[in-house]
Structure 1
C-alpha cells in the first residue's frame, strides 16, 4: 500500500500500519451494527480515494501552510533544560497552530472529506473543547453545518471553548448522562450520526473508533512527526533519544510518533492520566490498567467497571479522560515499541506551573501530562540526551480552572 503526502516517505510501513480491515495486529477493525457498516464502509472508500488524489492532497497541504501556519516551531526550552539538569528538552509547538492545538490538523482533512462526499453536516464529540473548536473552525471555512456533543462537566469546565464553538456557528449539545464527560459525548454524537448518516460525517476527534478513523486521523496528524524529524536533524544533526506525548485517545502522540517508528533507537513514550491515583477509581489509565475489549466500534484496551461496562474515568485534563485508547497504541505496546506511563493530576498541575514560569509558555493541562513525565525523564537520561515533547495545545482554556484549583490548595 502506498502512502500519500499526508504521510512521510520515512513513515513506518507494516507492522505499524493497519491491514485492509483496519486491524493493527489484533486491535482495531470496524465493530458496528449492520445499519452502520455500510455508511462506515463509504467513509473508508472515500478516504482511500482522497488519500490518493493529488488535488485533495494539494488543497489540504495548502490549508496547513496558509491557514494553520505550519510548520509549527520546534523550540529548544533552554530554561527548562537548565532547571531540570539533564537532557535537552525540545517542545513541538502545536499550541501555536490556528485554534491553539493539534486538532486543526485532522479537522481540516475531515471537513474536506465531508465536502468531497457530499455531506452537509459534520458532527463530533469533544472533551477539552479543542477538537470542537477546530472542527467548528474547519466547518465554517468550507461551508458545513457543525454539531458538537460535550459532557456537561466539560461544558462548565471549558466554558471559553464553548463560547468559541458557538461563535463559529456550531450547535453545542451538553450531555448529562452517565459520567457527563468524553465517553458519554462520543455515545451521544454517535446516536445522532446513526440516525442520519447520509447528512453527516462523524468527524472523530482522535485515533479511535471504527476503521478508517484510527488510520485517517493518524495520517492527518503525521505532519507533526515529519516536521519534528526534519527540525531536530537540522538543529542537532541527529535524532532524539525520546519522544513524549500525552495519551487519551492518542492523536497528538501518534502524530508525533509516526515518522520515528522505524527508528528503533528513539523511545516513544505515551503519558496517561493517573488522575487522583491508580489505587482509586479516579483515573483514566487505560494502557496501564485496562483490559482488551470493544469500545466505540474498535477492538482495543478499555477500562471496565464491575459490570463489564466502560468505567467512569477522571483526569484534570478534559481531553484525555477517556476509558479507551487508539488501537495503534495498543498494538505498539504489544509489539514492545511503545512505552506507556502515568502522571497524576497533581504532577500535571505542577508541570503546568513549571513551564509557565520558566519559559513563559502556558500549556494545556493535557500537554502538561507529557511535561510532567519530561520532568522525571530528563535527569535520568542525562545531558547528552535529547527529548522532544509534544506541546499539543495552549492553556488559555484552562487558566480559570487552574486558578480555582490553586486557590483551593
Structure 2
C-alpha cells in the first residue's frame, strides 16, 4: 500500500507485506477470539479507507511539518567518530521531534484515525513513557480522552514522563501485577479495551499486536526512513553502508529500515538489549534467543517457557523490556535481510555518556543501545564507510536514573 506523509506529495512504496490476513511469512496474523477478530477487521477496513483520503493525508502531513517539526535532520557525529575511529557515524535525530522521540509519528496517525472513526477514548500501554507522552499529546491535540497503563516499576524509573502525561490530561493507570513492567501494562490496557471495543480505540505503541497494528504503525513510522534515505543521498551522494536502530517491539527500527529494504548494498542491523548478559536471564534479546510462538494476539519470536508462557524479561531501558517483537522483524531475520545483534547495559551506559560528552546529545537509554553498537562496529570499518543510527529519542526521562546508577551526584 501507499501512505503519503510528505508535504511535497511524495509517496512511500511498501514491500508487499503483510498479506491480506496480516501475515509476514509465518508471523503476525490475528491469534484472537472470533468476536475480537471482527473488531480488528473493522479497524483494518477503516484504516485502509481513511488513510488514503486526501483530507487525512493532508492533515497528517501538515501536523508532521508544523507540529512535530519534520523532517528531522541527519547529523554527522564528527567528534564521536574521531573518538571511536573507523567509519563515520551519522544520527537521524528523531530525538528532536515534539515530545522527544519517534513515537509521535504513529501516535498522531492513531489519534487522527480514532477521531475519524468516532471513538470516545484512546487506550494504550507504555514502558519508558515515550509512547504514553506522545499519545497523550496527540489526544490533547485532537480532543479525545486518553488512558495510559504503565507498570509500577516503570512509573518509578520514568518520573519525568509520568508527570508529563498527567499534565497533558491523560488518565494514568498503575499496573501492579506480574513483573510490573511493559508486558503487564499491555495485558492491563487490552483488558480495559475489551470492555468496550465499539467506543474505545486501542493505540498499540509498537509494530506488535494483532493485524492491522504491525502494518499500521509501520506505515506511520516509515517516514523516518523515507526522509533519511533522501537526506543521505542529497548530502553524501550515496547511501550509508550500514543503518542501525534499537529493537524492543521494533517501531523505530522498522520505521528506518523500510525505505532501505530494497537497497542490497546497505547492511541493516537491529540491536536488542542483552542486559546483564545473554548467558543470564536478565535480558530481552527476543530475536537472538527467542522461539516462535503467540503473544498478545499475534505470532512472533518470543522469550517463553516450555509451555509457551512469556518469560520475565529485563532491560535497563524500559521501552525495550518486551518478551515479543514485531512480526516483520521476525520475517526479515528469517530471510536474512536484517541481522540482529545486542548490546549490554554496560555498553548502553557507556554510549549514553560518550555521546553526551562528545556531541552534547543526551540519548534515550533505548537509543543508546544502537549508539553502542555503532561505536563497536565503526572500529571494524574504514573511514570511507558510514553508519546511520536512528537516534529514536532523547534522554531527559532517563537522567535521574542514570545519575543514580552511575553515582554522578
TM bucket (normalised to shorter chain) is over 0.9
Return the alpha-carbon distance in structure 1 between the equivalents of residues 282 and 403 of structure 2: 21
- Count of matched residue positions in the alignment of Structure 1 and Structure 2: 406
Instruction: Give the corresponding residue for 2:378.
Output: 378
1:50-89 pair list within 5 angstroms: 50-89=50-89
Secondary structure (helix, strand or coil) at the match of 1:201 reads: strand
Q: Identify unmatched segments of 5+ residues in structure 1.
A: none
Return the alpha-carbon distance in structure 2 between the equivalents of residues 13 and 125 of structure 1: 29
Q: Identify unmatched segments of 5+ residues in structure 2.
A: none
Superposed CA deviations along residues 37-64 of structure 1, whole A, max 9, x for unmatched, are: 1111110000000222111111111100
Return the alpha-carbon distance in structure 2 between the equivalents of residues 138 and 94 of structure 1: 17
Superposed CA deviations along residues 325-372 of structure 1, whole A, max 9, x for unmatched, are: 000000000110011001001110000000000000000000000000
Instruction: Give the corresponding residue for 2:317.
Output: 317
Return the alpha-carbon distance in structure 2 between the equivalents of residues 122 and 403 of structure 1: 34
Q: TM-score, normalised by structure 1?
A: 0.97
Return the alpha-carbon distance in structure 2 between the equivalents of residues 331 and 141 of structure 1: 36
Instruction: Give the corresponding residue for 1:13.
Output: 15
Q: CA deviation at 1:12?
A: 4.0
In the alignment, is residue 168 of structure 1 matched against residue 168 of structure 2? yes
Instruction: Give the corresponding residue for 2:350.
Output: 350
Secondary structure (helix, strand or coil) at the match of 2:61 reads: helix
- Alpha carbons 1:114, 1:201 under 8 Å: kept: yes
Superposed CA deviations along residues 276-331 of structure 1, whole A, max 9, x for unmatched, are: 11111110000000000001111110101354310100000000100000000000
Secondary structure (helix, strand or coil) at the match of 1:188 reads: helix
1:40-119 pair list within 5 angstroms: 40-119=40-119
Q: TM-score, normalised by structure 2?
A: 0.97
Instruction: Give the corresponding residue for 2:227.
Output: 227
Q: CA deviation at 1:10?
A: 5.8
- Alpha carbons 1:11, 1:258 under 8 Å: kept: no
- Alpha carbons 2:232, 2:240 under 8 Å: kept: yes
Secondary structure (helix, strand or coil) at the match of 2:379 reads: helix
- Alpha carbons 1:125, 1:185 under 8 Å: kept: yes
Q: CA deviation at 1:4?
A: 2.3
- Alpha carbons 1:88, 1:383 under 8 Å: kept: yes
Secondary structure (helix, strand or coil) at the match of 2:122 reads: strand
In the alignment, is residue 290 of structure 1 matched against residue 290 of structure 2? yes
Return the alpha-carbon distance in structure 2 between the equivalents of residues 178 and 291 of structure 1: 22
Return the alpha-carbon distance in structure 2 between the equivalents of residues 122 and 251 of structure 1: 19
RMSD of aligned Cα (Å): 1.3
Runs of 4+ in 1 over 3 A off after TM superposition: 6-12
Return the alpha-carbon distance in structure 2 between the equivalents of residues 138 and 275 of structure 1: 32
